[in-house]
Structure 1
Amino acid sequence: MSSVPDNAPHQCPGTQSEDAGKASACAGCPNQNICASGVPAGPDPAIEVIRSRLANVKHKILVLSGKGGVGKSTVTSLLGHGLAKLNPDVNVGILDADICGPSQPRVLGVRGEQVHNSGSGWSPVYVTDNLSLMSIGFLLGSPDDAVIWRGPKKNGMIKQFLSEVDWGDLDYLLIDTPPGTSDEHLSLVQYLSAAGVTGAVLVTTPQEVALLDVRKEIQFCRKVGLPVLGVVENMSLFVCPNCKSRSEIFPATTGGAAQMCSTLQAPLLGALPLDPLLARCCDSGRDFLQEIPGSPAVAALQAIVKQIVSTCES
């Protein structure tokens, strides 16, 4: 019987197969080069390096979404600001692992900043005194430059971020991932396997077309042993900034995230209303929690942040 690595794709031909490292299922697999060379597969030495590098990071949380456009990066930035404001003594880091669509530098208002490299590694860019960010967006010549990479190169960049960024002492590291359940997600789970991942926060919108993909995301987490901290339903309602009236922009025809979480026995962290002022703050890189503290979205976010802290500290 062919030996199949634990982190291999579902249709892996096995290390003893003549197609090892060459089959279509091997594209983007972290073990592709090893299998193709005929060298016996073993633990990636980077896993231990990453464990050592992240030893002073208390909680490592992946922010996932099955579908693009549900506001995952926005929610990540809000969680970062929320955790940092909840306690000024808490240090929070955000790793923008969306290699082809790095939006965190703009959303957090630090576009154009430079990453400094020293003997201790790359230094993240500080958004506030206790909130820092690392993104490939800081390494591009222009914000309009496209990252046109195949899976293995993206995986290599993620490995470099995890092993070479000097975060210092962090209480929370939020990892903003691209949509889906593919190369980047498998690599993150593999590379963080020895570092201890606290869990994942899943982001969705209420309509069934988004929930379909989030169900797949929950199954992905369970298959790879990644705890689900909870689901955030983003853009659940539209709140008029003038009259404060509410209406459904994305109708929850099948019960929304609440019904899905009940069916799949996943925690529901809360629902964030759609506020047009939030979109404006993200586009201009302003802190929504500070700019619009009276927004219903801020109150909902603070409740979600407290639930995440309670779950992590329990």
Structure 2
Amino acid sequence: MPTWPACLQRRFENGLVQSVEQQGYISSNKRISDMKILATTDGSKHGKWAIEWLAEMPFAVQPVVRVLHIIDLASVRAPFMIQPAIVGTGRYIQSEVKRMEAAAKSTKKESEGLLSTLGLSGTVTTDQGAVAATIMKHAQRGVGLLSIGSRGLDALDRFMLGSISNHAIHHAPCSVLVVKESPRPVRHLVLAIDGSSASDKAVKFLIRNVNPTPDGLDREPVVVTVIHAVPYFKYPEVKEAGKALLQRYGAKLSKSGFQIREVLRLGKPADEILTVAKQEKADLIVTGAKGLGAIRRVLLGSVSTRVVQHAHCGVLVVR
């Protein structure tokens, strides 16, 4: 790997890059309005969607958004470069770094304009480093929600989830919103529950941070379809326990003002969640993360991972 000249390194330390220690993140585990929302962008349409979706989410209180654009110097490679010492590669690399610097400035300006247009309160920051690691560094500074775009369109991207968003849902210390499509008003949610503490956290997140009547008290409230899927109904007790679980979660959400639909399905949980979300034309799927032990962090409960990979709409993974 080529060694970066000090002059190139300083370009990103003088004005363009702002260290995470200077960001002023605050720590809180209360409402989303008391925390920071971190939205990542690379200047693509998917990056813009990660910002625009925050304006369409029916938050109880308008959030404060920090938009993050990352410059990954280590990603620069000269075409067909086998040895860093090959004559001419240094010139190419310097040219590419200049291009990345110009693109970063353009993205920063465009993102600032987007925040203003959307009426969102926040700032735009540019940082340098490996993309996934740098996102995690910023997310650890009191961030309550990470919004990230996914290019999950073709078979390979659905599997890899663009690698960056895949890394985020497995390793972020906060809740993660994976955006997959252009923004639209979020008025119908599908909430996947299984009775675990992860499901409890997902319900608590909605009650604390989502306004059930964003269009006014005289209009229809936000609809939450609560789904519990089990692989078999061999014993009547299983079905009855499932119904009781749905009623318990549904009652909490209904008391908070949401319009509730309860769905008990037989089959593989991830497949049933995806099917119901498509049938209901859901705007967003909400699921809890079971990221506790090492194995669970990798699998993310397996159900959540599959839902994020294959959902037609955005997915909110709550921690």
* TM-score, structure 1 as length reference: 0.32
* More helix as a share of residues: 2
Larger Rg: 2
